[in-house]
Structure 1
Amino acid sequence: MSAEGMLSALVAFRSVVGTRNGALIDYIRDYLASYDIASAVISGPEGDRFNLFATIGPKNVPGYILSGHIDVVPANETGWASDPFRLRNVEDRLIGRGAVDMKGFVAAVLSSVPELAALELQQPIHIALSYDEEAGCRGVPHLIEKLPTLCAPPLGCIVGEPSGLKPVLRHKGKAAIRIKAEGVAGHSSRPDLGQNAIHALLPALKAVADEAANQEKSGPRDPHFAPPYSTLQIGVISGGEALNIIPSHAEAEFEARAVPGLDPLALLQGALAEVEASEALAAEVIASYPALSLDEDHPLAGLAAELSGQALVEAVSYGTEAGLFQAAGVPSIVCGPGDISRAHKPEEYITVDELNDAQAMVLRLGRRLAAGAASGETGRAL
């Protein structure tokens, strides 16, 4: 199947973040099985969402992971010219939800399988597909936890998030929390008879705003990023019914983005401490993943630059599962087709050339690993 044909098949599955994805996983597993490639399906705690891990080549030899997520954001925006889940080719733009973020990379990998399977790889290529990345990389930790039982320690991981097929060395880590406040409703003329839920949130709000100012003023710097310091913000706040009613419920969502070396969740500890100190508050961690930081002289950086034919990029502003793989001891880099600016928008697209270039990169990796034994390089970074 061509890369475009595979992308069309993948886009047709409405694998929206936070919803079941079993049908798509079954499709991919059956496709791989048709080339005698077995898949491990790793369930998450939700019970209706699954990761998939498959190996082409010897499992007991160190190799490389090609990682991507198969969930997409909802397609409820106005501006779609037709069904977002039916791929359209308009002047070599392949338009559909997830076309660039990031079923395009997944399609490039899967459409390469027939040739990869015929190469008799001396070092393996692992395919790692995860769910609910768009909700803060919720699925992939369950896959990473199983890695020691699935393969030999990998030499590296290439995460195919759209980067213009340029290898990206760094991104910030992210944590997000939701804090809910419960109060007692009543007439605003008698605040002594009620409990104001919005007021209960104020110490947590202040803690986040203060920490944001602290990081901007005196937090650690990393010149690879803009801005070069860790950031925090209060992104969503809601509560109350009317001005003359004491609000009985309120909630807010907070985000921290941390430079490498800082735990993003630790930046929110001030707000979480306020939760611990108040019976009116409860907190939930929405997302948390670490930063990515790979040295320019790491063998994986050189390999990715060679495979992609593109120069290294020092840093990007978005986050990926690469930080989680790196935290688990797997050197990681981001390198995928298309432009991230097209993601999460109506008429999302990847071009035919971008898709084919990504497939060519995957096949170059396969041919490199098939040639490894002849050059005596099997079992170490190429």
Structure 2
Amino acid sequence: MSDILRTTKDLIKIRSTAENPAGLEEVIDYAVSFFAGDDLSIRKYRRGGKPSVVIATEESLEYDIILCGHLDVVPAEEEMFQPRLSDGKLFGRGAADMKSGCAVLLHLMKEFARRKKPSLALILTTDEEVGGRCGVGYLTGEVGYRAGAVIIPDCGGESTSQLVLRNKGVLQIKVSATGRSAHASRPWEGENAIEKLFEAARKIKAIMAEKDEKDPPDEHWRNTVNIASFQAGQATNVVPDRAEMTLDIRFTSQDSPAEILSYLKKRLPRYRLEKLLDGAGIFTSEDHPIVRKY
């Protein structure tokens, strides 16, 4: 455990955020150097300025098992990149999401370097926090990596003792509204675009609540809508004629993000809805052989 803790601390110290390309390179180089002298295949990739690496027991595109993790983190103050222990817990940016998990994967992969079966690959990326298109999306969608099973220890602060067999889908959108400008002293002569967006947010939350499962497996398994940003208005004494907000929608159904967006557009024809990022949910059967063994 002390070795894994030491590796986690090393990873936390690296400022591997989206706006710091040098940090992304450094954290991938750390992972590569971790296997110096091991008999493993190491292939580095780059897409959209985001580096990634595949470390495997053999050079192939298909494996029995792929271990997958991301080494990028969201921005934080400098002190968050100085790991510290308190009351038996490790604190620092990425301690849970997911540099501790990646540290475990690094040590696990080093152990499997001495084995031949099962065929195993470790994929480490640096763009999960900004959508994953240039990491896992590129490696599976264009390079063509495949596996019988993929294990991702991305607990995000939750318990690590249980397998997660389902994961919500995500749809991030920009919603725009237009109105009519007027002087604030005569608001009845205008149409307030901000008020229209307030109504749109209320409607979208209500629509997604309608789509909640009637008997969810737990209290957190429900659709959520987060208003992430809001832009409108140029002067306090003017009725705003344009406004836009971004929303992060997490959904529990097996609908595709495109189906969710299409449904919202039909229900809100007065607004402009644009997709920013999306990802389908993940659902693994309890009857999967690996799940049954666990």
TM-score range, shorter chain: 0.7 to 0.9
Q: Which residue in 1 is equivalent to 2:256?
A: 263
Higher relative contact order (CA 8 A, sep 6+): 1
Deviation of residue 183 (structure 1)? 6.6
Distance in structure 1 (CA, Å) of the matches to 2:37 and 2:216: 48
Counterpart residue number, 1:326: none
Secondary structure, in 3 states, of the residue corresponding to 2:104? helix
Aligned match of 1:98: 94
Q: Which residue of 1 aligns with 2:274?
A: 283
In structure 1, C-alpha distance between the alignment counterparts of 2:6 and 2:221, rounded to whole Å? 42
Does the C-alpha gap of structure 1 residues 209 and 133 become closer, same or farther in structure 2, counting only changes over 3 Å?
Answer: same
Looking at structure 1, the residues matched to 139 and 291 of structure 2 have their Cα atoms a distance apart, in angstroms, of 24
Structure with a larger share of its residues in strand: 2
Matches within 5 A, 1:34-49: 34-45=37-48, 47=49, 49=50
Q: How many residues align?
A: 287
- Equivalents in 1 of 2:57, 2:51: separation in Å? 20
Question: What does the per-residue CA deviation read over 1:118-166, in whole Å, with 9 as the maximum and x for residues that have no partner?
Answer: 23x2322111112232334444212221453x4xx41101111123232
* 1:252 aligned residue (228, 245, 250): 245
Give the structure 2 partner of residue 11 of structure 1: 12
Q: Could you tell me how far apart the structure 2 residues matched to 1:234 and 1:7 are?
A: 33
C-alpha distance in 2 between matches for 1:299 and 1:131: 30
2:283 aligns with: 293
Is the aligned partner of 1:188 residue 2:184?
Answer: yes
State the 1:58 CA deviation. Answer: 6.0
* Percent of residue pairs bearing the same amino acid type: 28
- Partners of 2:79 and 2:248 lie apart in 1 by 33
The one-letter amino acid paired with 2:138 is: H
- Which residue, 176, 186, 191 being the options, matches 2:172? 176
Q: Deviations over 1:23-64 (max 9, x none)?
A: 22222223335424333333233x2x2222221246376311
Q: Which residue of 1 aligns with 2:73?
A: 72
Q: Which amino acid aligns with 1:118?
A: R
Residues 1:184 and 1:71: Cα distance change in structure 2 (over 3 Å): farther
Corresponding position of 1:133: 128
Rounded Cα–Cα distance in structure 2 between residues aligned with 1:91 and 1:251: 44
Taking the TM superposition and a 5 Å limit, the aligned residue runs for 1:54-65 are 54-57=55-58, 59=60, 62-65=63-66
Q: Which amino acid aligns with 2:287?
A: D
Q: Is the 8 A contact 1:257 1:264 kept in 2?
A: no
CA gap of 1:194–1:132, structure 2 versus 1, over 3 A, is farther
Q: Which amino acid aligns with 1:129?
A: L
Q: Please say if residues 13 and 82 of structure 2, whose CA atoms lie closer than 8 Å, have aligned partners that are also in contact.
A: yes
Question: Alpha carbon RMSD of aligned pairs, Å?
Answer: 3.4
- Change over 3 Å in CA distance of 1:207–1:271 after alignment to 2: farther
**Structure-2-length-normalised TM-score:** 0.80
5+ long unaligned stretches in structure 1: 77-81, 306-382
SS in 2 for 1:226: coil
1:156 partnered with 2:146: no
Query: Does 1:239 find its partner at 2:229?
Result: no
The answer as to 2:101 corresponding to 1:110 is no
- Which amino acid is the alignment partner of residue 128 of structure 1? I
2: CA distance, partners of 1:276 / 1:50: 40
Aligned-partner SS, 2:153:
strand
